[in-house]
Amino acid sequence: MTGGFFAVFDDIATLLDDAASMTKVATKKTAGILGDDLAVNAQKASNFAASREIPVLWAITKGSFINKLIILPLAFLLSYFASWAIIPILMLGGAYLAYEGAEKILEWILPHKQHKHENPDLQLTEDEILYIEKEKIKSAIKTDFILSIEIVIMALGVVLNETLTTQIIAVSVVAFLATIGVYGIVTLIVRMDDFGFHLIERAGEDKLFLKNIGLLLVRSLPKVIKALTVIGTLAMLLVAGGIYMHNIHQVHQFFDFLPSIVAELLIGLVLGAVVVGFEKVFLQLKKVIIPTKK
């Protein structure tokens, strides 16, 4: 009886050890998407009044947790009943990531005309400001939903050959750690300038060292967000390229002569350009078939 009792504990320990190993592997595989998730959410959360940044980030974080609670059960059902669909979904997601990356590069090369609203809050009522805030939160949660699907499916792809229990533990840990990690870091980033202003006030005219650190933090925020955007774009292309390179033998063979990172970036760029091209052709055909009413 005692032996059976300890055997159960041994099985649990083995299961947790397997889950921990698979979680580590899955986390590494999803790191590229997490970089993009971080960049996107830092941008979306950085254009609010200082007093609203934390409430807005908390609202987006709660939305992200709800997204995971919706996606995870569906992913596990898919894994159990139609595991063959995981790789095709992963590749569709890769095409989407490549499209997003290529679209951002195209935007940098040929920027769209943007409306100037330097300080729109000064001309808006409180109700209008809250409405705009809610719309931005909804947009951020929708973006998070798409990226969450990619994180969950990619993590699931890593542990697809493991038992269902190991899959559930590993993928759930990766999914929820992603939310905690990404939004924790986003909070630190968007509050960086506030911390800088606090240091400047505290330093006064006497403590130049503190004042210089404060000024550095305030001036660094826009540059950090821009750098994250570039890193996020590269991460999307690399992840997309990696998905196709490691799941299509012919693609892997064709680019075998190149270093892995160069091959993945090149594949991501080509794939993104193709998807963007298809989108432009589709929109043009749509205009011809369904003329816009004046």
DSSP class per residue in 64-102: HHHHHHHHHHHHHHHHHH-GGGHHHHHHHHHHHHHHHHH
Burial of 10 (0-12, 13-18, 19+ CB in 10 A): exposed
Residue 169 pLDDT class (50, 70, 90 cuts):
confident
| Rounded Cα distance, 272 and 209, in Å | 46
Residue carrying structure tokens 């799941």? 247
Q: Averaging pLDDT over each range in 4-13, 73-82, 228-237, which range is the top one?
A: 73-82
Q: What is the DSSP secondary structure assignment for residue 121, as one 8-state letter?
A: G
| Short-list 13, 29, 242, CA closest to 156 | 29
Q: Is 0.75 topped by the overall pTM?
A: no
Determine contact, residues 276/284, Cβ cutoff 8 Å. Answer: no
Residue carrying structure tokens 């005219």? 205
Which long-range contacts (C-beta less than 8 Å, at least 24 apart) are formed by 184-189? 185/38, 186/38, 186/41, 186/42, 186/45, 186/57, 187/53, 187/54, 187/57, 189/42, 189/46, 189/221, 189/224, 189/225, 189/228
The pLDDT tens digits of the residues spanning 87-103 come to 888 888 888 888 888 88
| Short-list 187, 18, 156, CA closest to 78 | 156
Higher pLDDT: 23 or 135? It is: 135
Q: For the ranges 109-123, 179-193, 203-217, 240-254, which has the lowest average pLDDT?
A: 109-123
| Sign of the alpha-carbon dihedral angle for 149, 155, 160, 163 | negative
The predicted model gives 205-220 an average pLDDT of 80
Residue 128 pLDDT class (50, 70, 90 cuts):
confident
